[in-house]
């Protein structure tokens, strides 16, 4: 189930990036070609309405950011300030990490709940109740976007969906850390596809730093457990 969710998450992010790139490219090409006096072609381009492209891409980037944040938690690519964490050892370090993960769960969970309530009251309730022929009560139809005229509750759905997924990813990391004592990590110096031919005996900078940190943590743990250390 988790593997299927991982693939779906990656597919959504990749699809959003691909569509946004294509739309932006077409929009820019259209804008520049429209300025050239090419018989028939210029008139055809001017009649083509692509004014919706900017709004559409903004929506795509919002969705991409929310799902990308959840992906970042799962893969460990978020940048964090871990100076204090790295100075601690043993149970103190583990407890501080778990506290941070709990804060992430609580924060993203609250954002997901409040976001869901906002989406429900901003037009989703009206649409859902109308669809099933129920009384809409005090719920209103909700606004639409200026160019595409899409219901804004559909656009804002990225907030609860992405936040709940991010909350789930924090829970995953919590359980994994409790079992293994390791957090997901990502080598920011590695570029996919460029290091396949590299000698396996040569470490990348990010790998060397990670190994050095692990060695330092192990040394501190050993010193703390040594008799007479006073720790």
- Global confidence as pTM: 0.76
pLDDT of residue 199: 53
SS3 state at 34: coil
For 85, the token pair is: 């964490």
From residue 123, alpha-carbon distances to 70, 92, 127, 136 in Å are 26, 47, 6, 10
Confidence at residue 52, expressed as pLDDT on a 0 to 100 scale:
92
What pLDDT is recorded for position 26? 92
Phi, psi of 207 (to 5 degrees): -65, -40
Q: 74 burial class (0-12, 13-18, 19+ CB within 10 angstroms)?
A: buried
How far, in Å, CA of 23 to CA of 110, rounded? 34
**142-155 residue pLDDT tens:** 999 999 999 999 99
Count Cβ neighbours within 10 Å for each residue of 75-109 and write b for 16 or more, e otherwise: eeeeeeeeeebeeebeeebeeebeeebeebbeebb
Tell me the pLDDT tens digit for each residue of 175-210. 999 998 888 876 656 555 555 555 555 555 556 666
pLDDT tens readout for residues 52-86: 999 999 999 999 999 999 999 999 888 777 778 87
In the chain the first and final C-alpha atoms are separated, in Å, by 44
* Contact (CB, 8 A) for 96 and 205: no
Average pLDDT over residues 23-35: 90
**What pLDDT, on the 0 to 100 scale, is given for residue 42?**
82
Helix, strand, or coil (residue 187) = coil
Sequence-distant (6+) residues with CB within 8 A of 96 are: 84, 85, 88
Task: Indicate the range of 5-9, 38-42, 149-153, 162-166 predicted with least confidence.
Answer: 38-42
């Amino acid at each position: 189930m988790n593997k299927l969710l991982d693939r779906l998450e990656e597919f959504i992010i990749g699809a959003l990036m691909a569509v946004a790139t294509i739309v932006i490219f077409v929009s820019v090409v259209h804008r520049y070609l429209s300025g050239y006096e090419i018989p028939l072609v210029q008139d055809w381009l001017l009649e083509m309405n692509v004014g919706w492209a900017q709004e559409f891409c903004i929506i795509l980037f919002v969705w991409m950011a929310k799902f990308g944040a959840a992906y970042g938690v799962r893969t460990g690519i978020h940048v964090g300030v871990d100076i204090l964490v790295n100075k601690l050892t043993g149970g103190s370090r583990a407890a501080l990490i778990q506290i941070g993960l709990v804060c992430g769960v609580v924060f993203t969970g609250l954002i997901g709940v409040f976001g869901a309530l906002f989406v429900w009251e901003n037009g989703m309730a009206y649409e859902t109740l109308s669809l099933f022929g129920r009384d809409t009560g005090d719920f209103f139809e909700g606004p639409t976007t200026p160019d595409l005229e899409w219901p804004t509750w559909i656009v804002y759905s990225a907030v609860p969906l992405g936040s709940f997924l991010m909350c789930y990813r924090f829970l995953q990391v919590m359980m994994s850390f409790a079992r293994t004592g390791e957090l997901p990590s990502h080598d920011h110096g590695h570029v996919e596809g460029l290091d396949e031919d590299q000698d396996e005996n040569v470490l990348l900078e990010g790998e060397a730093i990670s190994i050095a940190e692990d060695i330092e943590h192990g040394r501190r743990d050993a010193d703390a457990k040594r008799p007479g250390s006073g720790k």
